[in-house]
Amino acid sequence: MENNDNARAEQARKGSPFLSTAQAAHYVGLSRRTLEKFRTTGCGPKYRKHGRYVRYHIADLDAWSASQTHESTSDV
């Protein structure tokens, strides 16, 4: 299944810059459920609603990931 997720994420990156929750979770190395929890707490990456669908823009995922950089455990 992971190869399928890799292929889907790679295909999405080549085509549309928008990823589903499952694709975005794989892209940033988290579980789908973690991203869902982040949406309710507001501590995760920016997301967009396209009708009833949640989509993550790759640039927003990259920006959020870059903002998670820490130099030591005391930074957290």
Identify the pLDDT of residue 7: 77
**All domains in the chain, ordered by first residue:** 2-65 (1.10.10)
Q: Does 7 or 50 have the greater pLDDT score?
A: 50
Other C-beta atoms closer than 10 Å to the C-beta of 38 total 16
Q: What pLDDT, on the 0 to 100 scale, is given for residue 1?
A: 54
> How many whole angstroms separate alpha carbon 68 and alpha carbon 15?
27
Which is more confident, 49 or 2?
Answer: 49
pLDDT class of 8 with cuts at 50, 70, 90: confident
Write out the H or E segment, with its range, that includes residue 49: strand 48-50
Give the closest residue to 2 by CA, choosing from 20, 18, 22: 22
| Cα Dmax for the chain | 41
In this prediction, residue 20 has a pLDDT band, given cuts at 50, 70 and 90, of very high
Instruction: State the pLDDT at residue 12.
Output: 63
In the three-class reduction of DSSP (H, G, I as helix; E, B as strand; rest coil), residue 15 is classed as: coil
pTM for this predicted structure: 0.75
Within 13 Å and on the Cβ side, how many CA atoms surround 59? 3
